[in-house]
Amino acid sequence: MKYALVTGGSRGIGRAISLSLSRMQYHVIINYVNNDEEAAITLQQIESEGNQASLMKFDVASLEQVESVLGTWMEENPDNLIEVLVNNAGIRKDALLMWMKDEEWFDVMNTNMNSFFYITRKLIKNMLVNRYGRIINIVSLSGIKGLPGQVNYSAAKAAVIGATKALAQEVGKKNVTVNAVAPGYIRTDMTKDLDEKALKAMIPMDRFGKPEEVSELVAFLASDKASYLTGEVISVNGGLYT
């Protein structure tokens, strides 16, 4: 059985990605940090379709937790190769830069950017040795065009876009691809405080997207079919000009 790790797989876009990858016969490791109930629902949905998954609770922003929880799993399961990594866990803590608190900056950088480093570094060696791997980073429209009130989030996502392009060049020779997916406005807990009615006026498709509209692209990038596609940032945003 081959494994896929989806960070932030308990809810929203991560849940849809976990479901999509499980349908590709991956055993999906669903990472999350707090919400046991939602994580259990994702696991149950996958199992009810006859596919396999398991839960792995750790804070992606904590190097110590990544090393202890993910590291221990790797030591105890030397034959279970994580072939697909989706760096999806993310948070936003919006504020105008002038008023931004230290923790609003550092929490967003740690969760959205440093997590990429901690987890990808940990998994990439086995992908290189195995000469196959798929890394998909969920970034954002904000990381491409920048959004006011989100200097922290835009900076973190832009950093991951740069990292995606650089890492793709490091590992392409070994058949490991690295791509980024940049959603626009997708209906999840993260966007439930936004005024969809007002914002959709800017979106050519006149609505927020659904998590499944992101996860289908991620599934393609995770598949064999995307074998010559690397270092790209693909937007899923209903036509919002970026």
Binding site for ligand NAP (CB under 6 A): 7-8, 10-14, 31-35, 38, 59-61, 88-91, 111, 138, 140, 183, 185-186, 188-191
Minimum separation from the CB atom of position 119 to ligand NAP (A): 10
Reduced to 3 states (helix: H, G, I; strand: E, B; else coil), residue 47 is helix
Among residues 92 and 132, whose Cβ is nearest to ligand NAP?
A: 92
Q: Which residues are catalytic?
A: 153
Minimum separation from the CB atom of position 174 to ligand NAP (A): 26
- β partners of residue 86: 6, 136
Residue 189 makes CB contacts below 8 A (sequence gap 6+) with 11, 12
Minimum separation from the CB atom of position 197 to ligand NAP (A): 15
- Count of positions (residues) in the chain: 242
Among residues 34 and 77, whose Cβ is nearest to ligand NAP?
A: 34
Distance CA 150, CA 95 (A): 7
Minimum separation from the CB atom of position 129 to ligand NAP (A): 26
Distance CA 221, CA 179 (A): 8
Among residues 132 and 213, whose Cβ is nearest to ligand NAP?
A: 213
Among residues 131 and 148, whose Cβ is nearest to ligand NAP?
A: 148
> Are 145 and 155 a contacting pair, CB within 8 Å?
no
**Sheet containing 26-32: order of strands:** 53-57, 26-32, 2-6, 82-87, 133-138, 176-183, 233-236
